[in-house]
Structure 1
Amino acid sequence: MQTIDHRRIAKNTILLYFRMGLIALVGLWTSRIVLNCLGVVDFGLYNVLGGIVVAFSFMSGALSASCNRYYSVELGKRDYTALKEVFKANVLIFLLFALIIFILCESLGLWLIDAKLVIPQQRIAASRWVYQFSVITFIFSLMAIPYKSLIMAKEKLKVYAYSSIIEAFLKLSIVFLLNKAPFDTLVFYSLLNMLISLGTNLFYILYCKRFYAECRYDGRPSRKICIEILRFNGWGVIGSLATATRNQGVNILLNMFYGPAVNAARGLANQIYSTIYQFVQNYALAFAPQIVKSYSAGQKNECNALMLHCSTLAFLMLSAVAFPIIFEMPEVMHLWLVNVPEHAIAFARIMMATALVDALYPPLFHGIQATGQVKWLNILCGGCQILVVLIAYCLMKWGRISSEMVFVLIFCGAFISQIIRIILAHKYLLLSIKDYFKKVLLPVISATFLYSASLLALSLLLDSGIARLLISFAISIFISATFVLISKKTRYDRA
Structure 2
Amino acid sequence: MNAANRVVFNTGILYGRIIITVGISLFTTRIVLDALGAEDYGIFNLIAGVIVMLSFLKNAMATSTQRFLSFFQGKKDKVMQAKIFWNSMFFHLMLGLALWGILELAGLFLFDGFLNIPADKLGEAKLVYHFMVVNVFFLILSVPYNGSLVAHENMVYVALVNILEVLMKLAIALFLYQTSGSKLIIYGLLMAGISSVSFVVYAVFCIKSYEECKISNRQKIDKPLLKELGSYASWNLFGSLCSLGRTQGLAVILNLFFGAIINSAYAIANQVSGQLMFLSTTMLKSINPQIMKSEGNGDRKRMLRLAMIASKFGFFLLSIVAVPFIFEMNNILGVWLKEVPDYAAVFCQMVLVGSIINQLTIGLQSAIQATGRIKAYQATVGGVLLLNLPLAFLLLEMGFAAYSVLAGYIVVEFIACCLRLYFLNRLAGLSVRQYFDRVILKEIVPLLVLVGTCLLSINILDFEFRFLFTMALAATATAIAINFWGLCEDEKEIVTKGIQKIKEKITKKKQLAFK
Superposition pairs of residues 320-399 of structure 1, within 5 angstroms: 320-396=320-396, 398-399=397-398
1:57: Cα distance to partner? 13
Contact 1:56 1:101 in 2 (8 A): no
The match for 1:261 is 261
Identity among equivalent pairs (%): 28
1:237 and 1:131 mapped to 2: Cα distance?
21
1:361 and 1:110 mapped to 2: Cα distance?
38
Q: Which runs of 5+ in 1 are unaligned?
A: none
The match for 2:49 is 51
Aligned-partner residue type, residue 81 of structure 1: V
The match for 2:467 is 469
Q: Which runs of 5+ in 2 are unaligned?
A: 498-515
Aligned-partner residue type, residue 281 of structure 1: T
Contact 1:54 1:248 in 2 (8 A): no
Higher mean alpha-carbon deviation, 188-197 vs 231-240, is at 231-240
Higher mean alpha-carbon deviation, 25-34 vs 180-189, is at 180-189
Higher mean alpha-carbon deviation, 200-209 vs 267-276, is at 200-209
The match for 1:440 is 439
1:61 and 1:117 mapped to 2: Cα distance?
29
1:296 and 1:45 mapped to 2: Cα distance?
45
- Secondary structure class of the residue paired with 1:221: coil
1:211: Cα distance to partner? 1.4
1:54: Cα distance to partner? 8.9
The match for 1:205 is 203
Aligned-partner residue type, residue 434 of structure 1: R
1:19 and 1:411 mapped to 2: Cα distance?
29
Which residue among 110, 113, 116 is the counterpart of 1:115? 113
Provide Cα deviations, 1:331-388, integer angstroms capped at 9, x if missing partner. Answer: 1101110000000000000011111111223310111111122133213212221112
Contact 2:361 2:421 in 1 (8 A): no
The match for 2:85 is 87
1:61: Cα distance to partner? 7.2
Aligned-partner residue type, residue 429 of structure 2: L
Q: Which has the higher contact order (CA 8 A, sep 6+)?
A: 1
Aligned-partner residue type, residue 64 of structure 1: A
The match for 2:67 is 69
Superposition pairs of residues 45-444 of structure 1, within 5 angstroms: 45-51=43-49, 63-217=61-215, 218-396=218-396, 398-444=397-443
Distance 1:36 1:276, change over 3 A: same
Provide Cα deviations, 1:60-90, integer angstroms capped at 9, x if missing partner. Answer: 7764321121111111111111011011111
Distance 1:59 1:137, change over 3 A: closer
Provide Cα deviations, 1:412-442, integer angstroms capped at 9, x if missing partner. Answer: 1111111111122222222222221111101
1:55: Cα distance to partner? 9.9
- Secondary structure class of the residue paired with 1:463: coil
Distance 1:59 1:155, change over 3 A: closer
Contact 2:51 2:132 in 1 (8 A): yes
Residues paired across the two proteins, number: 491
Contact 1:53 1:105 in 2 (8 A): no
Contact 2:87 2:219 in 1 (8 A): no
Distance 1:66 1:51, change over 3 A: same
1:43: Cα distance to partner? 0.1
2:201 and 2:174 mapped to 1: Cα distance?
24
Superposition pairs of residues 9-28 of structure 1, within 5 angstroms: 9-28=7-26
Root-mean-square deviation (Å): 2.1
Higher mean alpha-carbon deviation, 213-222 vs 147-156, is at 213-222
Provide Cα deviations, 1:36-62, integer angstroms capped at 9, x if missing partner. Answer: 110001000110111368999999776
1:482: Cα distance to partner? 1.9
Aligned-partner residue type, residue 261 of structure 2: A
2:481 and 2:310 mapped to 1: Cα distance?
13
Contact 2:3 2:290 in 1 (8 A): yes
